[in-house]
């Protein structure tokens, strides 16, 4: 991972490992790239709204054994249960809600894998991607080195 962080001029910003680490990593990245002060609640509400108003986009990824998308998102939010179909959809729903691409750098199988999650409908604003790191089912943010010592976002509720 050191090669990736050096080439991107970023450093790893650690997040809580409580089932919502992806959200915390995205909020850190969002605040850094847009110089905002958004919080976890802002992002969770955006995900809930996007999953509710555009549920037809995501129902193809939910099988009949998984349950309804709204219930799965509810479980994700309130019980922090991420290891089901809705948890796998959270990066796509987040990208759509924020209208920003998300680049996920995963450490697995002895290598680094880059997954690009694009918003379904792309507007012409805010195209710089949000960068997150995934290892052993845990997400951290990849923060520009110049902002590495600045903590702009509370990471827990």
Per-residue pLDDT, 154 = 43
Residue owning tokens 């997954």: 115
Residues forming a β-bridge with 138: 135
Do residues 29 and 23 touch, judged by C-beta distance below 8 A?
no
Per-residue pLDDT, 153 = 42
Q: What is the mean pLDDT of the chain?
A: 82
Per-residue pLDDT, 4 = 80
Tens digit of each residue's pLDDT (9 = 90 or more) over 53-96:
888 888 777 766 666 778 888 888 888 876 666 567 889 999 99
Per-residue pLDDT, 82 = 65
Tens digit of each residue's pLDDT (9 = 90 or more) over 108-142:
888 889 999 999 876 655 578 999 999 998 999 99
Per-residue pLDDT, 145 = 77
Tens digit of each residue's pLDDT (9 = 90 or more) over 16-37:
998 899 999 999 988 887 777 8
Rounded (10°) angle between helices 21-34 and 40-53 = 110
């Amino acid at each position: 991972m050191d090669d990736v962080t050096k080439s991107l001029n970023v450093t790893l910003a650690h997040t809580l490992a409580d089932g919502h680490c992806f959200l915390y990593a995205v909020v850190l990245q969002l605040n850094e790239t847009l110089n905002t002060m958004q919080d976890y609640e802002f992002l969770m509400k955006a995900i809930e709204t996007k999953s509710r108003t555009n549920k037809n986009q995501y129902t193809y990824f939910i099988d009949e054994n998984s349950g309804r998308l709204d219930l799965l998102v509810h479980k994700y939010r309130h019980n922090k249960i991420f290891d089901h179909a809705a948890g796998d959809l959270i990066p796509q729903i987040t990208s759509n809600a924020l209208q920003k691409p998300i680049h996920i750098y995963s450490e697995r199988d002895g290598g680094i894998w880059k997954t690009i999650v694009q918003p379904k409908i792309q507007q012409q604003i805010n195209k710089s991607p949000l960068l997150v790191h995934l290892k052993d089912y845990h997400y951290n943010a990849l923060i520009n080195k110049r902002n590495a010592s600045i903590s702009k976002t509370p990471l827990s509720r």
